């Protein structure tokens, strides 16, 4: 049985390039189904709800810019946070347009094509680089996940597959949600993706821990944190597996949007 990593192991064994290729960049149909689900949920939520504002926080973004590619058209200031130093470095290299940065042009192009609003990928890339104002550490096991930084509440918060990866048990999951929602202003929107009933996922050869959560638990945690749920959808994206290549044992993806009361 493979060793399951968590916590500080992210800074020593997490393979950024493998993770992005396995979970986001691959052209395999199941990966693209995940990508389309992410796009549709964010697009529908931000456009139909007309959610916008000066400032957005991404909690536990990993090395993944996928959410921010869409969000930067609605929120001109993005604070991007993650626990893992190599993930933050990957994003910083891209923002600074360093020669060894991971190439996101294909994913940006796909997003612009799906939006169908005439944006060029070059313009969106430039907008995203301008929008990411800070790249900072976060730790969801702290009462202020952004410690030692202190911010005025944000207009929006996005987080994907992070809370369950950081939480050792269901009570800590709920406490982490409360800590996240404290960073959101009243009337602000939370956009969140969770993997349903996942116990581990891969990044290259390494396996990483995930707390098994389901829709009732996530909804309960969000409501107890002081939010009103406005939308939730489960995709059975993982039900067929990734063409026989196991990158998660999760059963599907839960999308949830909520407004802070």
Query: Binning pLDDT at 50, 70 and 90, where does residue 49 land?
Result: confident
Domain 4-260 has CATH 3.40.50.150: yes
125 SS3 class? helix
pLDDT given at position 184: 98
Taking residue 222's Cβ as centre, other Cβ atoms within 10 Å add up to 24
Asked whether the predicted pLDDT for residue 247 surpasses 70, the reply is no
Asked whether the predicted pLDDT for residue 77 surpasses 90, the reply is yes
Report the distance separating Cα 20 and Cα 70, nearest Å.
17
Phi, psi (deg, nearest 5) at residue 206: -90, 145
Report the distance separating Cα 73 and Cα 108, nearest Å.
12
Half-sphere exposure of 172 (CA within 13 A, CB side): 16
Q: Are 174 and 75 in contact (CB under 8 A)?
A: no
Query: What's the mean pLDDT in 81-105?
Result: 97
- Dihedral sign of CA atoms 149, 171, 204, 196 in order: negative
Query: What is the biggest distance separating any 2 CA atoms in the chain, rounded to whole angstroms?
Result: 49
82 SS3 class? strand
**How much is the mean pLDDT over the chain?**
92
pLDDT given at position 241: 42
Cis peptide before 148, with omega less than 30 degrees from 0?
yes
> Taking phi first (over 0 means left), then psi (-120 to 50 degrees means alpha), and beta for anything else, what does residue 241 get?
left
pLDDT given at position 48: 80
Query: Binning pLDDT at 50, 70 and 90, where does residue 250 land?
Result: confident
pLDDT given at position 248: 72
Query: Binning pLDDT at 50, 70 and 90, where does residue 31 land?
Result: confident
Asked whether the predicted pLDDT for residue 242 surpasses 90, the reply is no
Report the distance separating Cα 174 and Cα 88, nearest Å.
25
pLDDT given at position 2: 77
pLDDT given at position 239: 44
């Amino acid at each position: 049985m493979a060793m399951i990593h968590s916590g500080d192991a992210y800074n020593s064994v997490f393979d950024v390039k493998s993770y992005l290729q396995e979970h986001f960049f691959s052209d395999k149909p199941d990966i693209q189904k995940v990508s389309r689900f992410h796009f549709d949920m964010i697009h529908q939520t931000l456009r139909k709800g007309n959610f916008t504002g000066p400032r957005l926080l991404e909690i536990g973004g990993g090395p993944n810019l996928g959410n921010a590619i869409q969000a930067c058209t609605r929120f001109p200031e993005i604070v991007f946070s993650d626990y893992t130093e190599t993930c933050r470095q990957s994003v910083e290299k891209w923002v600074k347009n360093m020669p060894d940065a991971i190439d996101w042009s294909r994913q940006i192009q796909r997003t612009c094509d799906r939006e169908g609003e005439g944006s060029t990928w070059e313009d969106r890339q430039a907008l995203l680089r301008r929008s990411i104002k800070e790249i900072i550490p976060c730790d969801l096991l702290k009462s202020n996940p952004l410690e030692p930084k202190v911010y005025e509440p944000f207009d929006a918060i996005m987080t994907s597959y992070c809370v369950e990866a950081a939480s050792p048990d269901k009570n800590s999951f709920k406490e982490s949600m409360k800590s996240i929602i404290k960073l959101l202003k009243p009337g602000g929107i939370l956009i969140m993706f969770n993997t349903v009933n996942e116990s581990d996922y891969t990044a290259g050869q390494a396996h990483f821990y995930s707390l098994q959560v389901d829709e009732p638990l996530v909804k309960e945690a969000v409501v107890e944190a002081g939010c009103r749920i406005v939308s939730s959808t489960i995709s059975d994206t993982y039900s067929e597996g990734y063409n026989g290549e196991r990158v998660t044992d999760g059963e599907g993806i839960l999308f949830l949007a909520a407004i802070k009361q």
